Amino acid sequence: MPSAKRARPILGRRAPAPVVIHSAPLVLPMTAGPLRDGAVATRGERVLAVGPRAELLASCPAAEETRWPGMIVAGLVDACSTGPSAAPGVTARARVVSDLAEPAGLPGVWYVAVTSESEERWEEHERDALITAIREIDRPCAIGLAVRTRHPLVLEDVAVLARTFGLRLLVDLSRHSPAALDEAGVLGPLCHVVCARPLDPGERKLLRLRRTAVALCPAPAVDALTLLEEGNTVAFSDTGSAGPLGMAAAVRRLARERGLRRRGLDRRLVEAATLGGATALGMDRGKGRIGALAPGARADFAVYDARGRYPYSVLLAEPPCVGTVVGGTVGGPLSRVS
């Protein structure tokens, strides 16, 4: 009788992560319509599938289910932050830092501030130091440059560096006009701007033509509505505990106070807080994209204790956030299905 052979483990291979199904009475994927009794199937830090709960449970019978109350929404994206974000529901952000060695925190893009106002100082010291830091840094998030210099030649060189190294750019329109930024070669799809002032029609058009997203922090409600209606990519930045959803809700309230009722406004405001922020960070496409829930996307979402016939409107009423999932990792209170 032949002896049984013991299978040898294959070194270097890991068992695949288990499938987890997150379900809720309502799911807002953002790239598709709302799903009643929907679910999101995840494996590790990626989304496997999004669809009706019954279908996902049937297709993955061995999966563990996490049953959430209320509404699952694609994670909010803070398009500009200078410190730790306290806003609930935020799962990614653009953060301006002075030192790349700071703790990474939430995923997103870390922007190094460029403040040099002297061409000599920039050329003699700061430029090489910045390049060295970019080359040597080892961190999981993408790196960008926050352009805070007003010197035109430094501004132009920073734009060249960004294109050379494939870095994203972040600029505050309180420091520069869109026309000056365009002349220096800063504007484009690799750049997004932070705006807290009204923009004239020419400025809005230039940003739209250059495919440069506008992160409001905040801006007048009428200006936000105009940007959305004209087709600009709009995002929200975290100006405090309100966060992107709170800013979207504030725009909606001000619009209603002024009697401005735009069709589809609630949906577009929620899109700005999710997909708009992802576009501003350049993280709306490819493997591990954020801002929406679909196969291949990063498993980032927030859960709100919200129910209602009109899900986008209910969400803009700022219901409590009961938990978040970032890269497949759960945080906050939850209830499990046994």
* CATH classification at residue 259: 3.20.20.140
> Is the pLDDT at 103 greater than 70, yes or no?
no
Residue 38 main-chain phi, psi, to 5 deg: -100, 180
Same domain, 199 and 330: no
Mean pLDDT within 296-303: 96
Same domain, 126 and 36: no
Rounded to 5 degrees, φ, ψ at 306 are -140, 140
Confidence of residue 4 (pLDDT cuts 50, 70, 90): very low
Distance CA 292, CA 86 (A): 22
Q: 253: helix, coil or strand? A: helix
How confident is the model over 178-220, as pLDDT tens digits?
999 999 999 999 999 999 889 999 999 999 999 999 999 876 6
Structural domain harbouring 237: 77-286
Six-digit token string for 170: 């972040």
Contact 291, 77 (CB under 8 A): yes
Residues 32 and 180 in one domain: no
| CATH number, domain containing residue 31 | 2.30.40.10
Cα–Cα distance for residue pair 46/327, rounded to 1 Å: 7
Instruction: Say yes or no: 193 and 253 in one domain.
Output: yes
Complete DSSP assignment for 121-166: HIIIIIHHHHHHHHHH---SSEEEEEE----HHHHHHHHHHHHHHT
Is a pLDDT exceeding 90 seen at residue 309? no
Indicate the residue type of 283.
Answer: M
- Placement of tokens 């709960």 in the chain: 53
Task: Give yes or no for residue 41 having a pLDDT over 60.
Answer: yes
C-alpha 67/C-alpha 228 separation (Å) is 35
pLDDT of residue 222: 73
Both 250 and 320 in one domain: the answer is no
Taking the C-alpha atoms of residue 282 and residue 150, their distance in angstroms, rounded to an integer, is 25
In terms of pLDDT, which residue wins out, 246 or 102? 246
Higher-pLDDT residue of 321 and 138 is: 321
Last residue of a domain, one of 245, 265, 286: 286
State how far Cα 277 lies from the chain centre: 4
> Across the beta sheet with 76-81, what order do the strands follow?
76-81, 90-97, 108-114, 142-147, 168-172, 191-195, 213-216, 234-236
For 118-171, write each residue's pLDDT tens digit. Answer: 888 888 888 888 888 777 766 556 789 999 888 899 999 999 999 988 899 999
Tokens 């270097």 belong to residue: 12
pLDDT above 90 for 277? yes
* β 90-97/76-81 pair status: parallel
Angstrom distance (rounded) from CA 275 to CA 295:
15
Is 245 inside a domain boundary? yes
CB atoms within 10 A of CB 102: 11
Q: In this structure, how many other beta carbons lie within 10 angstroms of the beta carbon of residue 16?
A: 8
In a domain, 66, yes or no: yes
Note whether 145 and 95 are same-domain residues: yes
